[in-house]
Amino acid sequence: MTRIFSGIKPTGHMTLGNYLGAVRQWAEVDQHRGEALFSVVDLHSLTVEHDPARVLRLSRQLATLLLAVGLDPAVCTVFVQSHVGEHTRLSYLLECTASDGEMRRMIQYREKSAQAQAAGDGVRLSLLTYPVLMAADILAYGADEVPVGEDQTQHVELTRDLAVRFNQRYGETFVVPRATKPVVAARVMDLQEPTSKMGKTTAGTGGVVFVLDEPEVVRKKVMRAVTDSGSGGGEYDREKRPGVANLLDLLAACTGGNPEALAGVYESYGALKKDTAEAVVEVLRPVRERHAELSADAGHVEEVLKEGAEKARAMARPTVDAAYRAIGLLPAG
């Protein structure tokens, strides 16, 4: 059976980008396609400046949201990364497999280390090694597929390289995984800055729609989205008209349409924005409602996470133990 693993970091509130680029697929498709695990990857949120109380709050909120979007604990495994020690156990062996140079080449490291420096914060060593821990997250479960947004492609490529290298050096131990991404909205762009991706940690949130935003807030953000020069509707062109292309992507992702076909339908940007705003509001409505219900029952979410961690641990342990033996470490007995 296909093994599937993916995760989301508690670095901020879940965005429409996270939802359309990854999480929605997990719930609608991936959990039914194989043996799937989805994780709140909390250790990754410690790689940048953070407030401990906020990490705690966001971890709970994200876990609740994962259930609210429709992940069913009877069908898949939902857990918190730090509850399963196998991730960090394996990460060290992969640090011994990866090289300093390949870590420094990671686009996200370059972007986020520049941001940290600009903010006057030091660059944490864990920010450099973060893709190794992510590789461990994936390889520990023998995942065949990793459903992620486009921005994570490079990290999954690195995971593949590390798996192949480890297998060549020490014998077949890891499944070599591949990234999968949605057909539309694999890269949702910031509504105010449509050449940058919509991210939870973007400063100034006017261009970022959060999954739990009130409908009025969603409408306002979409109606204020930056469009491109030139009038009317026109063509779907991500290079020349990134703002309009982003709105078309969002509308297509929310209505099941095709962005190129939709481009011909609209004669004014105002009409496109209005329909996009309503489509986004309707897609998010059930998630917000279910989140409110589940928030009233924190005990249930905790129970799901506890069982999830037990299941995940049992799945990861044999592979991680095998990696420890393969690399030449004396078994504990």
Amino acid at 316: A
Instruction: Decide: is 155 part of the binding site for ligand ATP (CB under 6 A).
Output: no
Give me the sheet containing 77-80, strands edge to edge.
77-80, 35-40, 3-8, 145-147, 178-180
> Which one of residues 3, 4, 5, 8 is an interface residue with ligand ATP (CB under 6 A)?
8
Q: How far is the CB of 148 from ligand ATP (least distance, A)?
A: 3
> Which one of residues 198, 218, 222, 287 is an interface residue with ligand ATP (CB under 6 A)?
198
> Which one of residues 4, 21, 30, 162 is an interface residue with ligand ATP (CB under 6 A)?
21
Angstrom distances, CA of residue 23 to CA of 38, 43, 180, 181, 225:
9, 19, 12, 11, 23
What is the DSSP secondary-structure string of 113-156?
A: HHHHHHTTPPPPHHHHHHHHHHHHHHHTTT-SEEE--GGGHHHH
Instruction: Decide: is 221 part of the binding site for ligand ATP (CB under 6 A).
Output: no
Is 197 known to be catalytic? Answer: yes
Q: What are phi and psi of 309, to 5 degrees?
A: -65, -40
Beta pairing partners, 35? 3
Q: How far is the CB of 167 from ligand ATP (least distance, A)?
A: 25
> Which one of residues 5, 11, 109, 221 is an interface residue with ligand ATP (CB under 6 A)?
11
Around Cβ 239, how many Cβ atoms within 10 Å? 7
Binding-site sequence positions: 9-11, 17-18, 137, 149-151, 188
Q: Of residues 92-151, which lie at the interface with ligand ATP (CB under 6 A)?
A: 148-149, 151
Q: How far is the CB of 3 from ligand ATP (least distance, A)?
A: 17
What is the DSSP secondary-structure string of 164-180?
A: HHHHHHH-S-S---EEE
Instruction: Decide: is 250 part of the binding site for ligand ATP (CB under 6 A).
Output: no
Binding-site sequence positions for L-tryptophan: 137
Amino acid at 145: E
Q: For ligand ATP, which is the closer residue by CB, 153 or 295?
A: 153
Q: Of residues 285-324, which lie at the interface with ligand ATP (CB under 6 A)?
A: none
What phi-psi label fits residue 232: left (phi over 0), alpha (psi between -120 and 50 degrees) or beta? left
Q: Is 261 exposed, middle or buried (0-12, 13-18, 19+ CB in 10 A)?
A: exposed
What phi-psi label fits residue 137: left (phi over 0), alpha (psi between -120 and 50 degrees) or beta? alpha
Output the residue with the shortest Cβ distance to ligand ATP: 21
- Candidates 132, 63, 124, 70; CA nearest to 100 is 132
Out of 112, 181, 221, 273, the active site residue is 112
Instruction: Decide: is 43 part of the binding site for ligand ATP (CB under 6 A).
Output: no
Q: For ligand ATP, which is the closer residue by CB, 6 or 319?
A: 6
Instruction: Decide: is 9 part of the binding site for ligand ATP (CB under 6 A).
Output: yes
Out of 181, 197, 221, 273, the active site residue is 197
Q: How many CA atoms lie within 13 A of 251 on its CB side?
A: 25
Instruction: Decide: is 73 part of the binding site for ligand ATP (CB under 6 A).
Output: no
| Number of amino acids touching ligand ATP (CB under 6 A) | 20
Active site residues: 112, 197, 200
Give the residues lining the site for ligand ATP (CB under 6 A).
Answer: 8-9, 11, 15, 17-18, 21-22, 148-149, 151-152, 186-188, 197-201
